[in-house]
Chains A and B, each alone.
Chain A
Amino acid sequence: MTSAALAFSDGAVIAKRNLIKIKRVPEILIWTLMSPIMFVLLFGYVFGGTIDIPGASYREYLIAGIFAQTVIFGSTFTGAGLAEDMTKGIIDRFRSLPMSRSAVLVGRTASDIVYNTASILVMSVTGFLIGWRIRTSLLEALGGFLLLLLFSYAFSWIMAYVGLRVTSVEVVNNASFMFIFPLTFVANTFVRSGDLPGPLKVFAEWNPVSAVSQAAREAFGNTGSSLPEVWSLQHPVAYTLIWVAIILAVFVPLSVRQYTKKS
């Protein structure tokens, strides 16, 4: 078997193991799904009337942003899960088996896709109940969902690296919070990037989180009438894919090396 095929089949075994854990400790999944619901409701009703988006309802505008933020936060499962595994004896078992060296990481990041698919589903239903509508076709909307999942998948590899570098689950959670919160807020997730002041505006315009939100928004047909002025947001799909490629190219080898490293 080629090493890629081996990484894939061994990764599937590991992913199954991670998903069994969800089955055994369903509270994890339940709480994970509660927060996106809360976000949809909170932003929808608290800010829903105060922010004006020309040509669209704010509640519709904001859904894509919440999706983006939530799936990015979902990737912290990889970091926390790996940090936890590293403190347990099971990782020595994996390392002493003739399995692919990247399988634990491949499996871990793949389980995030499952988590994130579930949270997108829940958020979509919640959004639908409070008035969000897909104004394009179902096929286009699916493209939007796929791009969100792809971006969050790449992000999982960043979190994998973080999880392997730190020594405890708490550190992963705190560190990722400090990093992901600004990243997902200084973006066009909840406001239009053009409305932000000076340097924040530039950051938001080139922030890949803005691009993936914009791309999803376009896919759902929730953009409103005003058009963005920067290349990154005029070509959000291309810009997102560039970032996905860069992140994977950097963090896949980096994480695998960190995992294989022998103290």
Chain B
Amino acid sequence: MTDMIRTAGLVKRYGKVVALDGLDLVVPKGTVLGLLGPNGAGKTTAVRILTTLLVPDEGTAEVAGLDVRAEPGMVRERIGLSGQTAAVDEHLTGYENLDMVGRLYHLGREKSRARARELLDQFDLEEAGNRPAKTYSGGMRRRLDLAAALVAEPDVLFLDEPTTGLDPRSRALMWETIQELVRGGATVLLTTQYMEEADRLADDIVVIDRGRMIAHGTSDELKTQLGGERVEVDLASSADIPAAMSILGGLSVGEVQVDEQTRRLTAAVTGGADVLRQVLQRLADKGISVVDVGLRRPTLDDVFLTLTGHAAEEVAEHPEDKGKESEPGASKTREKEAVR
């Protein structure tokens, strides 16, 4: 199998900030790589280098077998980019935007027009196609941007946080669209802050933090790295937290995590349903009432927490890393998903 993306030792500095600190990536043809990391991890920087928008300070990057520094023009003919902020012209209609992009890929007048109509249809934008893009909702704009990336049917597709800032419905729609593309055999590099997104869309996941790879594998492999399952207990009263902690501590193979606000205790365990029964029994013995209890496999959030020592959300909300993409609604939704 040929590799469509290959980087070795990519370094990019912005003054004192090291955005990329020796990144190695390999994406075989027809696969999806999820580049997962919190805000400021270096995801966009990696995408910009691979799409010829940025020159790395060190290291090499190849796309479709072409060196991005030596042959940026040739690389541009093979790629499609849907960047972190939707790159559509507000004053142009959806149709005009796609037609323009087709002309600039040199598809010719007829082909550009046909392709524009085809994509509007495929992305559920037929009706909106004749309205200026500034009248579009965030989700529609994102879809138009993704459609623009697909105009020339590129060999390699770069999607930089395609669902950040979208409401759950638009996100689900976006996921479906991307999954369809993937089934069609596209090679995709997808960046995301959402664990669930990488889990669902990517064959292979690279977790990065501060410009460096901290983990690599399929989502199953990453989960296995953490060992067994977790017991989650939601208490009725915060007064019971200390008592419940000591019960769980006796059965857990690791530290017990506590979320004071939701009164949720999480403990890594081995032994499955048996342990769960024991937990319930001991809690009942002490007269601790429980709202909810469950056994679950680790989420990628757990993976991240274990690998970096901090949760993705914490970093994302760190003031200096706050980008325009971190919309207030986004991290809330994510929390919910992670818990599921």
Contacts and interface: CB of A to CB of B under 8 A. Distances in A.
Interface of A: 10, 13, 16-17, 20-21, 24-25, 88-99, 103, 262-263
B54 A89 contact: no
A224 B54 CA distance: 58
Given A17-B100, A24-B132, A95 B91 contact: no
Contact of A98 (B73, B87, B90): B73
Interface residues of B, number: 28
B83 A89 contact: yes
A98 B88 contact: no
A64 to B, nearest CB: 34
B196 interface: no
19 contacts: A10-B103, A17-B89, A17-B96, A20-B91, A20-B92, A20-B96, A88-B90, A89-B88, A92-B83, A93-B83, A93-B87, A93-B101, A93-B148, A95-B52, A96-B51, A96-B53, A96-B76, A97-B76, A98-B105
Contact of A13 (B85, B86, B90, B103): B103
B79 interface: yes
The 9 A-B pairs with the shortest beta carbon distances in the complex, nearest first, are A93-B87, A89-B87, A98-B76, A89-B85, A99-B104, A98-B77, A21-B91, A96-B81, A24-B91
A92 B81 contact: yes
Q: Is the interface of A mostly helix, strand, loop or mixed?
A: helix
Contacts of A99: 104-106
Contacts, number: 66
A141 B92 CA distance: 37
Nearest to A260: B72
B101 A97 contact: yes
B55 interface: yes
Nearest to B74: A98
B262 to A, nearest CB: 37
B104 A262 contact: no
B101 A90 contact: no
Nearest to B55: A262
A90 B88 contact: yes
A190 B105 CA distance: 48
Nearest to B141: A89
B306 to A, nearest CB: 35
Interface in B99-149: 100-101, 103-106, 132, 148
Interface string B44-82: 000000011111000000000000000001001101010
A13 B87 contact: no
A95 B72 CA distance: 10
Given A20-B96, A24-B132, A89-B87, A94 B104 contact: yes
A37 B230 CA distance: 76
A96 B132 contact: no
Contacts of A93: 81, 83, 87-88, 101, 148
Contacts of A262: 53-55
B92 A17 contact: yes
Contacts of B91: 20-21, 24-25
Interface string B22-49: 0000000000000000000000000000
A110 to B, nearest CB: 15
Contacts of B52: 95-96
A95 B51 CA distance: 9
A10 B53 contact: no
A98 B85 CA distance: 20
A92 B53 contact: yes
A92 B53 CA distance: 7
A207 B96 CA distance: 43
